[in-house]
Amino acid sequence: MAVVRKAVAAAVALSLLTACGGAAEAGPSTDAVTVRNCGLDVSVDGPPERVFAAYQPAIEMAHALGLSDRLVGTAFLDSEVLPEYADAQRDRKYYKNLPSREELLSHNPDFVLSGFNDVFSAAGTDGSFGSRKSLTDLGVRTWIFSPLCPTADGKGDEAIDPASVSMDNVYADLRDLGKLFGAGDKAEQVIADQQRRIAAVEAKVKGADRPTVAIVRPGLEGGGLTVSGGPDFGTVLIRQAGGVNAFADLTAKRNVKISAEEFIKRDPDYVLISGCCDATLTEDRTRPDVDKLLANPAFANLKAVQNKHVVPWLFAHHSAGVRGAHSTELIAKIIHPDRVK
């Protein structure tokens, strides 16, 4: 079965390649494409063939664009991949943590697709592949998801431009990557599907009260809590689902550490407990952290605790990428159960 699927995928990829080649202008460099990503020009002479995908959003987007067979390596899943990509991901070379720059280069990649910006940042917490320029110099093209564009190459989460955090930038990435990889049709399909599903949710929640929603990372608190701030993509997803990120006004970083007292002061209507980072993670595994928050005597008066609106959630759900529609639907079901089933 896997062989057949691979063959079909390869055939599809090939046909897309030829389709793209045919559509381009005639000349010696028919497949040469340049698009701009986070302030850098990304130029290819033809569709990249050896792609390394770092982090969940990049891995899922590669599969969504039909690039599964071009993945020479994948790293750092935050949870299980979406069911539609599970088979394709199973055969891929996978690293639990980010590999070193040397290990990365040993795969001879011609393209690194990253779902987060820290991997090209000197200040990165999970290790770094080096700046994008340093990889381009070696002939390795790179891509950061646009909703996470840092203000300069070599910077990371501390320098996200808040204006870039939008679903439109996910679509722009899909279109641009579609151009680079000769997968324009597939990109348009994915975009249409996302837009249709998100519009359906938005229509259902229109006019409803907008509850406040906090996304909390368990296990990182050290006595306080780590919540998703304004630049986190969760802010966009919650808005689409008919709610408001309770910490949207904290815009310095994606993940903001706050005190337990500040959390009590904000008293959010819903709390999503965002589990991370393991390739086999599911919502169920964050249940103990949900129970822990519910049982904390300091939080007993919170609306979310009294109404049992503390819900298992996954970090993967609130990353920018092709989960956008899926996550919007999930949040809407949680905060508007009467309108979205």
Partner 1 sequence: MTLSRRRGLLHHSGPRAAGLAAAVTVLLAAVLLSLLAGAQWFGPRDVYAAAAEFAGSDTDRVIRYLRLPRTATGLLAGAALGLAGALMQGVTRNPLADPGLLGVNAGAALAVVGAIGLLGIHSLTGYVWFAMGGALVATVVVHLVGSVGRGGATPVKLALAGAALSALLGSVTSAATLLDLSTLNEFRFWVVGSLTLATGGIVAQAVPFIAVGIVLALALGRSLNQLALGEDLATALGTRVTVVRILAGLAVVLLAGTATAMAGPIGFVGLAVPHVARTIVGPDYRWILPWSVVLAPTVLLLADVAGRLVVRPAELQVGIVTALFGAPLFIALVRRRKLAEL
Nearest to partner 1 of 82, 277 (CB atom): 277
Q: How many Cβ atoms from other residues are within 10 Å of residue 156's Cβ?
A: 22
> Looking only at residues 93 through 152 of this chain, which bind partner 1 when binding is defined by CB under 8 A?
96-97, 125-126
**With binding defined as CB under 8 A, does residue 282 bind partner 1?**
no
Contact track, partner 1, 213-232, x by CB under 8 A? ------xxxxxx--------
- Kindly state the helix (H) or strand (E) to which residue 180 belongs, with its residue range: helix 167-181
Show the tokens assigned to 52.
Answer: 């390394």
Q: Which of 61, 10, 318 is nearest to 171 (CA)?
A: 61
- 278 near partner 1 (CB under 8 A): yes
Q: Closest approach of Cβ 257 to partner 1, in Å?
A: 6
Comparing CB distances to partner 1, the nearer of 290 and 325 is 290
Is there binding between residue 260 and partner 1 (CB under 8 A)? yes
167-181 and 184-205 are packed helices; what angle lies between their axes, rounded to 10 degrees? 170
Decide: helix, strand or coil at residue 271: strand
| Cβ pair 216, 293 in contact under 8 A | yes
Full DSSP string of 59-104: HHHHHHTT-GGGEEEEE--SSPPPHHHHHHHHTS-EESSPPPHHHH
Q: Which stretch binds partner 1 (CB under 8 A): 49-57, 154-162, 237-245, 253-261?
A: 253-261
Q: Which of 5, 101, 175, 257 binds partner 1 (CB under 8 A)?
A: 257
CB-wise, 222 or 337, nearer to partner 1? 222
For the record, the structure tokens of 169 come out as: 């930038």
Q: Please, which residues bridge with residue 257 across strands?
A: 226
Least spacing, CB of residue 276 vs partner 1, in Å: 8
- Segment lying near partner 1 (by CB under 8 A), choices 3-11, 157-165, 202-210, 257-265: 257-265
**Residues near partner 1 (CB under 8 A):** 96-97, 125-126, 219-224, 250, 252, 256-262, 264-265, 276-278, 296-301
